[in-house]
């Protein structure tokens, strides 16, 4: 899923206590959050990539793997989708 947030920067999202990591997606800085469900469960098969379009706007890419496992694969896929989205951003 891709979600546009024209009035919300990457620092405004709720990461549910998870530690975000800084990455680059194409020409934009981004934040990746693995296993971004509330709670302490790991390897949920869920990964979010938040692309910073500006200080106050972002694009969120959410990937959930079938079976809710293999977070590393979900993040690989989220980053791939984010690269496609980045190519369309200003």
Please give the mean pLDDT across all residues of the chain. 90
pLDDT computed for residue 23 by the predictor: 97
pLDDT computed for residue 36 by the predictor: 62
What does each of the 90 residues of the chain score in pLDDT, given as a tens digit?
Answer: 999 999 999 999 988 788 899 999 999 999 999 976 656 667 888 999 999 999 999 999 999 988 778 889 999 999 999 999 999 999
pTM here is 0.88
> With 0-12 CB in 10 A as exposed, 13-18 as middle and 19+ as buried, what is 48?
buried
- Tell me whether strands 2-5 and 57-64 are parallel, antiparallel or unpaired: antiparallel
pLDDT computed for residue 42 by the predictor: 75
Distance from C-alpha of 78 to C-alpha of 81, rounded to nearest angstrom: 5
> With 0-12 CB in 10 A as exposed, 13-18 as middle and 19+ as buried, what is 60?
buried
């Amino acid at each position: 899923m891709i979600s546009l947030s024209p009035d919300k920067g990457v620092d405004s999202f709720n990461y549910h206590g998870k530690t975000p990591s800084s990455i680059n997606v194409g020409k934009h800085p981004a934040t990746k959050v693995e296993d971004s469900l509330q709670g302490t469960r790991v390897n949920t098969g869920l990964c979010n990539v938040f692309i910073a379009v500006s200080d106050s706007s972002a694009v969120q890419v959410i990937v959930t793997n079938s079976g809710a496992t293999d977070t590393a694969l979900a993040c690989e896929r989220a980053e791939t989708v984010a690269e496609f989205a980045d190519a369309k951003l200003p």
